[in-house]
Amino acid sequence: MISSFIMAFLPELVLLAGALGLFVVTLGASQQKLARIVALLVAFATIAAAALALGQHADLFSGAYRVDQFSQLLKLVLAFGFACILFLSGELPDIRGEVKPEYYLFLTLSVTGLVMLVSCVDIISLVVALELSSFPLYLLVPMRRERAEQKSQMESAIKYVMFGVAANGIMFFGLSYLYGLTGTTHLPEMVAILQPVVHSPLAIVGLVMAFCGLYYKLAVFPFHFWTPDVYQGASNETASLIASLPKVGTVAVLVRFVSLATPDNRTVALLLTFLAVASMFYGNLIALVQKDLKRLLGFSAIAHAGYALIGFVAIDVAGYTAALYYITGYLLMILACFVVICRVSRDGTNVAIEELAGLHRRSPLLALTLLVGLFALASIPPFVGFMAKLSLLTAALAQGHLVLVIVAVVNSVIAIYYYLQVIRQAVFGEVNPAAAAGPIVLTWPTRILCVVLIAGIVALGVAPGLVIDTISHSLAFVTSSPATPLLGR
């Protein structure tokens, strides 16, 4: 029994042990390099642990925590993203030197919360994991070094905390309504009891409010207001984390919620349709006028959250599969863009779009990475963005959501314009002589990361069958009967 528990809980145990080790490292002085080494070892160990635990199935902690193929697959994706973020972080040039060890500690704790989040099937464990993943992020944003011309990190941190606290408060209030209606905190039981009364005003209000915390992390309209400011105010490395891993965990939790609804539940479909349309139009239209690259990616993230919601509108396995496939591809696409931002940036400063001029001469590999990432975000074939969005639209169209599909196509055309504006600067823009922009020398870890991300974006776009089939098969465990009970059940 104990060995089964260890294997089922192995990725979480590795991360918790790593966080404890990093806490010990932070107790010493000038331990920046050691903290980075420990964090990298933890990331690789988590990847290995998630791979070893792929076949594990169990219900832990009295059924509040479910280990199945669905959760284990997403833990592997999160562990890979964790390692990528550590690679692109480099020496953290824009983080104050005295807090760099703490930076790695909070980063690891946030990833630990996200890894736990994908296995939560009880609203109590869900809230704990959600807060564990969120609070370290609130602390990472203000760790950015202050500059004479750049002091927005404190404002961004305050906005991030205030919006996060408000969204979570609304979410908890909604969950209390659902608990009052059902008398249980166990998610599958709660949704089953809600089915007969799901059209009642109290149930609808409870569900809408309960989703608020998840919409906030996914940057869905109208919980998006923090996104561009936090992207711009946080350090490049912190922004790369906020822009990628939390969205994977959020989509996983949404799948656990929405997959328990019936396909004829028009109330949920109508709500998700409104949010998807509003997010797509808002994000894409305002991104057209942005000059800062991170701010542009922030508004782009709002639009991509709308695209991801299209899969949930279908309320079937094909739609959930497409949403998970899309967010996995988005993880690779956005990290490819942030690798370029981190390496083009001078000493960790923000990067304006015009600063990318002549990138193909300064660093051909970075220029290629940016092109692949942006073409994929713009849904240009043969990259993963095209196949993922095609899967979303196909799933929605199969359920009769023709108007939503047309709106998504229109928004994709709008997005192509501002992505091509960035590419035009990187490929055809002339370097300003006054900027004194010389060649960019890349370290071997950065080169390896660029190649891995490019290969992943292309491979998932050219041959998506294996990934889609794996995700689809894992979804069978989401609504199936509980796995082998362990620890108190």
- Give residue-wise pLDDT tens across range 75-129: 999 999 999 999 888 778 888 878 888 999 999 999 999 999 988 888 888 888 9
Contact 99, 30 (CB under 8 A): no
CA distance 418 to 317: 33
Residue with tokens 């019936």: 262
193 CB-near residues (< 8 Å, 6+ apart) = 181, 182, 183, 184
How many Å apart are CA 90 and CA 342, to the nearest integer?
Answer: 9
CA 257 to mean position of chain CA atoms? 17
Residue 488 has pLDDT above 50, yes or no: no
Residue 95: beta bridge partners? 144
- 348 within domain boundaries: yes
Half-sphere exposure of 369 (CA within 13 A, CB side): 28
Peptide bond preceding 222 in cis form (omega within 30 of 0)? yes
**Residue 338: both structure tokens together:** 């942030």
Helices (H), 243-363: 245-258, 266-287, 293-313, 317-344, 359-362
Alpha carbons 101 and 133: distance in angstroms, whole number: 18
What are the CB-based long-range contacts (under 8 Å, 24+) for 402-406?
Answer: 404/273, 404/276, 404/277, 404/310, 404/313, 405/310
Which residues share a beta bridge with 150? Answer: 147
| Residue in 192, 176, 295, 193 with CA at minimum distance from that of residue 236 | 295
Task: With beta carbons less than 8 A apart as the criterion, state whether 365 and 402 touch.
Answer: no
Percent with pLDDT over 90 in the chain: 26
Tokens coding 127: 């809230």
In a domain, 488, yes or no: no
What is d(CA 365, CA 447) in angstroms, rounded to the nearest whole number?
A: 8
Q: Which pLDDT score is estimated for 301?
A: 92
**DSSP string of 171-214?**
HHHHHHHHHHHHS--BHHHHHHHHGGGTTSHHHHHHHHHHTHHH
Q: Is the pLDDT of residue 149 over 70?
A: no
Whether 225 shows a pLDDT value over 60: the answer reads yes
pLDDT at 437: 63
Residue 233 to residue 245: CA distance in whole angstroms: 19
Whether residue 166 lies inside any domain: the answer is yes
Residue 484 within any structural domain of the chain? no
At residue 455, the pLDDT reads 93
The yes-or-no verdict on residue 431 having pLDDT over 70 is no
Amino acid at 464: P
Cα torsion 337, 343, 348, 352: sign: negative
Average model confidence (pLDDT) for the chain? 84
Grade residue 485 by pLDDT with cuts at 50, 70 and 90. Answer: very low
Does 1 score more than 80 pLDDT?
no
Write out the two tokens for 141.
């944003």
Task: Give domain status of residue 103, yes or no.
Answer: yes
**Residue 459, domain extent:** 2-475
DSSP letter (8 states) at residue 355: G
Higher per-residue confidence, 483 vs 350: 350
* Residues of the chain above pLDDT 70, percent: 92
> Domain for residue 350, yes or no?
yes
In the beta sheet, which residues pair with residue 59?
66, 485
Which pLDDT score is estimated for 217?
Answer: 84
Phi–psi pair at 308, nearest 5 degrees: -60, -35
Q: Predicted confidence band at 67 (pLDDT cuts at 50, 70, 90)?
A: confident
Per residue in 188-209, pLDDT tens?
Answer: 788 778 777 777 778 788 888 8
Split into its structural domains, the chain has a count of 1
Per-residue pLDDT reduced to its tens digit, 235-293? 888 888 988 889 988 888 888 877 656 556 677 778 888 889 999 999 999 988 888 89
> Is 282 a member of any domain?
yes
485 assigned to some structural domain:
no
